[in-house]
Structures are given as C-alpha cells and as structure tokens.
C-alpha cells in the first residue's frame, strides 16, 4: 500500500505542479482503488495531499503569478461553502458520489481540450484597470460553486478555477494557474476542517502520498514552464478520460 501511495503521489503532485489543477480529481480514486482506502477516509486524505502539494507548487509563482485579491475572495467564499458540500456528502450513497466524480472528470477533460482565452475585456476599463463592480459578483459565485464541490467530493477545485479565472475573470493563463493553486490550498484547508468531526485517517499512507506529491509538484512547477500548453492539456485530458472510465467500470462491477 505504501508503494502505491508513493507512485500515485508522484502523479497527483505532478499534475498540480504542471497545470495548477487536475491532481485533485485523481487523488480520491487513487486513494480508493490504488491505495485501498474507504471513500470516507479518502476524501479528507485527498484534501491533505492536494493542499500540501499545491503549497509547494505555488512557491515558485508566488511573487508574480498570483492575483491575491481574487485568491482571497474566491478562497474565503469557497472555504465557507465547503461545509455545505460536506453536509450533502453525508446524505448520499458512496456509489452515487463516485459516479458524480466520473462525470466531473469527463467535463474536466473536455474543458482541457477547449481553447482558453487570456482576458475577459468587459471586466477592464480602457486604461487596463479592473472594474471591480463587474468582477466581484463573478468572483463570489465562482468561490461558492468550487467550495461546495470541495466539501462534497474532496476536490481542491483547480480544474474548475483555472478556466474560471482565465475565461470569466480575465486573468492571463500563467496568473490563473498561480492564483488557482492559492485558492486550492485555502479550499483544501476548509474542506479538511469540515471533516474533522468524523476524521479517521491512515496517517502513514496519507503522509507517504502527500510527501511524494509535494516533491513532484515542486519539480513539475519548474518543468511546466518549458512545455507547450497544448501538450499539457491533451495529456491531462487523456489521463482523466481513462480514470473516469475506470471509476465507472468499478462502480458497475460493485453493483
């Protein structure tokens, strides 16, 4: 089990470091099927892994590639709504949650194959300054949706935050990735705190997974700057489709 945790930690951390998201939606199925954790333990464990590896991945970008105001707004609203997602999580069957996971992974893969714009011009004045009365409602709405999914599925949210920051809020892609990582850290902390009352983790497996993910995310963060964006997106999308198909197959076989 430790060996599997180390291998999957490299994959999850690598994805987070390369594209600012994606590792989070692989962490739960990796912990459930690869490491052998029950889903009830895999969700909070994934939040530890994602939060720790995202922290490492954002360090090289922290000075120039983070919009701290957006990170604060989306992170704060997301941290609050994570509790609502956790409450809903406790009402649903685990098999249903895994099917939801698969559907979200497919959507994430499709999103990665679509072109991403660099700016949303209607949020900017002629001199390039941000018009916050237009941007603020969209930032809050983004935080609400992403935070809810964080609590519901143990998803840090990067695969939703990056396109939202780039397409809806108008950030350049490099800044969208850096800002996404900060928000993922905040949402992961909020999601983890919301699970503390029912926490039952295998800290050895979680630590092994998180440790390798942190190392991989730090290295991948530097490598990602030299790789074409199209290559990263297509590779990530292909991997997500494979994992989604595997999750659906396992759910069907369990029925």
Q: SS3 of 99, please? A: helix
Q: Highest mean pLDDT: which of 35-49, 93-107, 203-217?
A: 203-217
Would you say residue 145 has pLDDT above 80? yes
The answer, yes or no, to whether residue 212 has pLDDT greater than 90, is: yes
pLDDT at 120: 53
pLDDT of residue 118: 46
Mean pLDDT check: name the lowest of 5-9, 124-128, 160-164, 201-205. 124-128
Collapsing DSSP to helix, strand or coil, 124 comes out as: strand
Q: What is the mean pLDDT of the chain?
A: 80
* pLDDT(156) > 60: no
CB-side neighbour CA atoms (13 Å) of 218? 9
Given a contact cutoff of 8 angstroms between Cβ atoms, the answer to whether 52 and 45 are in contact is no
Per-residue DSSP letters for 121-157?
GGGB-TTS-B-HHHHHHHHHHHHHHHHHHHHHH----
Convert the pLDDT of each residue in 44-78 to its tens digit. Answer: 898 899 889 889 888 888 888 888 998 999 888 88
d(CA 109, CA 35): 23
Using CA atoms, how far apart are residues 96 and 187, in angstroms rounded to an integer? 23
**Predicted structure pTM score:** 0.74
Chain segment 101-131, per-residue pLDDT in tens: 788 778 877 877 876 554 455 666 665 667 7
**Position with higher pLDDT, 127 vs 40:** 40
Q: What is the pLDDT of residue 225?
A: 65
């Amino acid at each position: 089990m430790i060996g599997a945790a180390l291998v999957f930690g490299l994959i999850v951390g690598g994805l987070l470091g390369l594209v600012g998201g994606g590792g989070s939606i692989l962490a739960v199925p990796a912990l459930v099927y690869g490491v052998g954790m029950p889903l009830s333990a895999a969700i909070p464990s994934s939040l530890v892994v994602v939060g720790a590896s995202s922290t490492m991945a954002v360090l090289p970008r922290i000075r120039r590639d983070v919009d701290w105001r957006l990170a604060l707004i989306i992170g704060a609203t997301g941290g609050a709504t994570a509790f609502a997602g956790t409450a809903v999580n406790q009402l649903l069957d685990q098999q249903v949650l895994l099917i939801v996971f698969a559907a979200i992974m497919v959507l994430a893969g499709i999103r990665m194959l679509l072109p991403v714009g660099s700016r949303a011009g209607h949020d900017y004045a002629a001199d390039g300054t941000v018009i916050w009365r237009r941007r603020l409602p969209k930032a809050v709405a983004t935080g609400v949706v992403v935070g809810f999914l964080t609590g519901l599925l143990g998803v840090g949210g990067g695969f939703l935050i990056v396109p939202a920051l780039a397409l809806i809020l108008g950030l350049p892609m490099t800044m969208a990735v850096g800002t996404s990582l900060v928000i993922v850290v905040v949402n992961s902390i909020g999601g983890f705190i919301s699970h503390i009352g029912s926490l039952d983790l295998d800290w050895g497996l979680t630590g092994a997974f998180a440790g390798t993910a942190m190392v991989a995310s730090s290295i991948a963060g530097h490598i990602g700057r030299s790789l074409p964006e199209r290559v990263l997106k297509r590779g990530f999308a292909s991997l997500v489709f494979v994992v989604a198909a595997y999750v659906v197959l396992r759910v069907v076989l369990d029925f």
